[in-house]
Structure 1
Amino acid sequence: MEAKEPMVTVETEEMNMNGADLFIQALKQDGVELLFGYPGGAVLGIYDALHRSPINHVLARHEQGAIHAAEGYARVSGKPGVVIATSGPGATNVVTGIADAMMDSLPLVIFTGQVASKVIGTDAFQEADIVGMTM
């Protein structure tokens, strides 16, 4: 009977990543250097991951300020302005900026939090049909 070699376990950084870490890693890989936003409960995990990353963050007083700052960034840099907002009222606060950016053909990428999939449609706390409002 042959002796088996012991199994070697290799832990990589990717093995210890959660969804928020992967989200931030994807932004970094796409060349995002600056993120505009305002933290809230549904996106706090992303803010934890952002804190550990080299991506800079502009903390606005509220989400509408964040999206308008991202519009200004897009105007002067030619790069997409990237915004993160929490669910519900945080998401609805970016709607005016989305409309403004569309009218001015400004490149923006907006991410919002949302309630858990299983409670969508139940009027859960801070649930908002942001896609329905903006498409």
Structure 2
Amino acid sequence: MRDALSFLASKKISPNAKLGSQQVAGDPGAPPIGVGGGPSSTGNANALSFDQAVANLNRLYPVGYGSSHIQAVTFGPKAPIAKTILTYGQSMNPRSPWSSDQTRLFGNKQWVDFPFTPQQIRRDRISARVLRAKS
């Protein structure tokens, strides 16, 4: 415990700091959004790494990469339910409104409803393109 407290003091981090204030998104232009997970060696389902972070380097654990897409599907009596999340933003452009949209959801432990059944897919379809092989 003494070593842990000494380590935190050396990094100027309060002993009561929440992990989410130090383990944050580290992709280009990312605000310091706290994200859950841990190294794959710990058996964590959301594997992440602190290598290659380029933003929020003043935090103890800026996340450089890890799980990109997480999906959970349940087959129940009513219908299949699919939830998904992209753990980083939909755009790599830090000025885009979609640069950290999914990261914010992920940090708040929220999911996106994912169309799964043919009816849900038809309802949510934005466009469709039919490709045919040349004969």
TM-score (norm 2): 0.22
Q: Say which structure is richer in helix.
A: 1
